[in-house]
Amino acid sequence: MADTSSVQIAVRMRPFNEREKKLKTAKCVEMVGQMCTVTDPESGKERQFSFNYCYDSFQPGSEHFASQEMVFRDLGISYLENAWKGYNCSIFAYGQTGAGKSYSMTGAPGQPGIIPRGLAEMFQRIDANDDPDLSFRVEVSFLEIYMEKVRDLFSATPTAGSLKVRESPKLGIYVEGLKKERVACYEDVEQLMELGNTMRTVAQTNMNAVSSRSHSVLTVLLTQTRINKESMTASDMTSKINLIDLAGSERQGKTGAEGQRLKEGSAINQSLTALGNVIEALADNCVASASGKKKAKKRLVPYRDSKLTRILQESLGGNAKTIMVAAISPAADNFKETLSTLRYANRASKIQNVAVINES
């Protein structure tokens, strides 16, 4: 059964950080319902966008405050439901460094994000299963793309080599040699994630004390096996869940990068630029086919231009249900990056995916 749906967009605005509070920075973003308005602090010009979800996490304690729990209730539960039906799903977080990507995906101490909440809920559901003919298997892998090299975060020596991205009719797109760990409970995943996160490449930039300069992809494979007692056969239904925390989307100038940092910047941007190009081509193709014109020319989608776009190929315009979390800063001095993130998200919202249930 094929199911067509658009990439769902959730924009989330973080609170002011200490620096912005101290500097009494002006706020340039307002959210009302599904509308998000940004105001150019120089010209006063307003731009308005509409998204599937607008999460205002600016004022902790306020009536409109979007908590981790609320974000999970919408986005996390929706991907779990889809995974249970056998669809591939993916959530990716996009935005400038310090805008709240990792906070939304992983969370902060005492404030777990979409990933830990989702996995905890997944095991709760598995534990609650009382159908003796149905069994579950959960496997996870965790990789990082850093300067166009793919590294296994579950490997003790992730720096040793760069893994190859391959494609086969049976496996689809996969990373050759990537470790897949079978997990039996939430605590297993938690331990593995901790190990993986310590393996991640982090470096200092002026934008944020510790900012991640790499893209990380956590993949969860949920396999449901059903035994048919009458025919003595078993059938599998597998869902692949990709949870992606992208590197900061800011342009290089602002981070004051030099030397190694600058080189990193361009490699990171190679993947992000490629992602932008893929999103643009897909959005154009979807708009063209929606126009109903017979001769609408399809653009070639440049998935092969980067490791990131290869790995995300199924999630973008392919066999998956996809959510993009666009993390933004409320601060006027981040206006340009915020506007660029909102435009990016707006383009991504035009993409249609066709998901099928993976049964065998």
- Interacting residues with ligand ADP (CB under 6 A): 12, 14-15, 17, 57, 95, 97-103, 108, 208, 211, 248, 327
Q: How far apart are CA 257 and CA 269, in angstroms?
A: 13
Q: Which is nearer to ligand ADP, 69 or 167 (CB)?
A: 69
Smallest gap from residue 268 Cβ to Mg ion (A): 12
Residue 97 beta carbon to ligand ADP: minimum distance, rounded to whole angstroms? 4
Six-digit token pair at 291? 């126009």
| Residue nearer to ligand ADP on the CB measure, 64 or 182 | 64
Between 38 and 327, CB nearer to Mg ion: 327
Chosen from ligand ADP, Mg ion, none, partner binding at 57 (C-beta under 5 to 8 Å by type) = ligand ADP
In sequence order, the 6+-apart residues with CB closer than 8 A to the CB of 192 are: 140, 142, 154, 181, 183
In 10 A of CB 312, how many CB atoms? Answer: 28
Q: Where are the beta strands (DSSP E) in the chain?
A: 2-6, 8-13, 29-32, 35-39, 46-50, 53-56, 89-94, 107-108, 111-112, 134-146, 149-152, 165-168, 172-175, 181-183, 202-205, 208-212, 215-228, 233-245, 321-328, 352-356
Pick 92 or 123: Cβ nearer ligand ADP:
92
Q: Is 214 in the site for Mg ion (CB under 5 A)?
A: no
Min. distance of Cβ 116 from ligand ADP in angstroms?
A: 14
Which among 260, 231, 45 is positioned nearest to 147, based on CA atoms?
A: 260
CB 229 within 8 A of CB 262: no
- Residue 109 three-state SS: coil
Nearest residue (CB) to ligand ADP, 99 versus 267: 99
Contact of residue 25 among Mg ion, ligand ADP, none (CB under 5-8 Å per partner type): none
Q: Give the shortest CB-268-to-ligand ADP separation in angstroms.
A: 13
Beta bridge pairs of residue 146:
149
Q: Which does 225 bind (CB under 5 to 8 A by kind): Mg ion, ligand ADP, none?
A: none
SS3 271: helix
Among positions 39, 57, 212, 242, the unique one binding Mg ion when judged by CB under 5 A = 212
The residues annotated as belonging to the active site are 98, 100-103, 245, 248
Output the residue with the shortest Cβ distance to Mg ion. 102
The two structure tokens encoding residue 245: 């925390």
User: 101-120 mask for Mg ion (x: CB under 5 A)?
Assistant: xx------------------
Distance in angstroms (rounded) separating the CA atoms of residues 80 and 86? 10
Least distance from ligand ADP to the Cβ atom of residue 66, Å: 7
Taking CB atoms, the residue at the shortest distance from ligand ADP is 100
Residues near Mg ion (CB under 5 A) are 101-102, 212
